[in-house]
Structure formats: structure tokens, C-alpha cells
């Protein structure tokens, strides 16, 4: 084995594996918001989008009332009662740190979307929270969905991550308003 390959395999083996959470969804879900993989703070808290600078709960607070200062269980219930499901594309991966750029693509295992879509047939719109979620879904999930994916509509939204600072909060809110409209069936 050459030195470069050995170093690559050694560094990959040293990366910690992380695992996502179960989906937040009920039978009334009409839209699905997909992230890539929870960051370190979210994994420690066992809550989606727990990083205090992530704009996700601030945005969903304005859109459907799921404000960050509410208890986590209340926020999740508000999402569900608004027709919004929440999950991550990846079931597990090796990742250094919290950023999507730290994910080792060779380690990716995607969640079981075929079963998810069978259990949630009213979902017609999938919104990606950022580019990595969309890229992983298209690469690791889409081909395995066969005919289920034909009726689904996909849209990438600006990432709510604090690392994605190229858009203002107002610009992100404007882009994310589509989630509320589609959840309401509009």
C-alpha cells in the first residue's frame, strides 16, 4: 500500500462516526425538510438544529410559530400540526467537526426513504436545508426510490447554518416562506 493511500485510510478510520435522529413526521405531513446530518451541539442535545446561532427555529418560529424559546417537544408538535416533517438525508457518516465539508463521502449511509415515503404518502414537497443535503439525496437516495420520486417536488433552500452567512436573515426568511405555503397546500 502506498503512503498516500495509507494516510487517507488512517485519517478516515480516526474520524468519529455520527448518527442522525429518527424522523419527525405524522400522517398529515405534506412537506419534508431535510438536513444533511446534525452538528455536534445538536447531537449532544439530541435535538434538531440545537446550535443557538442556527436560524432554523427562528425561521420556523416566524412561519408556523415553532419559536426557539418554546420547549423542544412543543416545537416539534407545531411542525407536525403544520404539515411539516423533519429529517436528515444521512443515517450515519464519518465526520470531523460539525460542518458538512467535514463529512467523509466514502462513509455515507443514507436513511431509508423508500419506507419513509410509503409511510407518508401525502408528502409532495421536499425542501433541502442547504446544498449538501440536496447533493447527498440526489446521489445516495433518488435512484433507489423508483417510481415514488416522480410525484415529489424538490427545492433547495438557503442553509440555516451559521456557516452560511452569504444571505441575510430577511433573504432566508423570504426563501423559506415556500415551506409554509406548501404545507398549507397552496
Catalytic residues: 54
Pairing of β 125-129 and β 31-35: parallel
How many secondary structure helices (H) and strands (E) does the chain include? 7, 7
107-116 long-range CB contacts below 8 Å, 24 or more apart? Answer: 107/12, 107/15, 107/17, 108/136, 108/140, 110/136, 110/137, 110/140, 110/141, 111/20, 111/23, 111/87, 111/141, 113/137, 113/141, 113/144, 113/145, 114/144, 114/145, 114/146, 114/148, 116/23, 116/25, 116/87
User: Are 129 and 157 spatial neighbours (Cβ–Cβ below 8 Å)?
Assistant: yes
Amino acid at each position: 500500500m502506498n503512503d498516500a493511500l495509507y494516510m487517507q485510510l488512517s485519517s478516515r478510520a480516526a474520524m468519529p462516526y455520527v448518527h442522525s435522529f429518527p424522523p419527525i413526521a405524522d400522517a398529515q405531513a405534506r412537506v419534508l425538510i431535510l438536513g444533511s446530518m446534525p452538528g455536534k451541539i445538536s447531537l449532544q442535545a439530541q435535538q434538531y438544529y440545537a446550535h443557538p446561532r442556527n436560524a432554523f427555529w427562528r425561521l420556523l418560529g416566524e412561519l408556523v410559530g415553532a419559536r426557539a424559546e418554546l420547549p423542544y417537544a412543543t416545537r416539534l408538535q407545531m411542525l407536525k400540526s403544520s404539515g411539516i416533517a423533519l429529517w436528515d438525508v444521512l443515517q450515519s457518516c464519518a465526520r470531523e467537526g460539525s460542518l458538512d465539508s467535514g463529512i467523509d463521502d466514502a462513509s455515507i449511509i443514507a436513511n431509508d426513504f423508500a419506507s419513509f415515503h410509503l409511510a407518508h404518502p401525502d408528502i409532495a414537497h421536499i425542501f433541502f436545508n442547504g446544498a449538501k443535503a440536496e447533493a447527498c439525496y440526489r446521489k445516495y437516495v433518488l435512484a433507489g426510490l423508483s417510481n415514488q420520486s416522480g410525484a415529489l417536488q424538490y427545492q433547495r433552500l438557503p442553509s440555516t447554518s451559521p456557516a452560511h452567512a452569504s444571505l441575510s436573515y430577511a433573504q432566508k426568511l423570504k426563501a423559506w416562506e415556500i415551506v409554509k405555503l406548501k404545507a398549507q397546500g397552496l
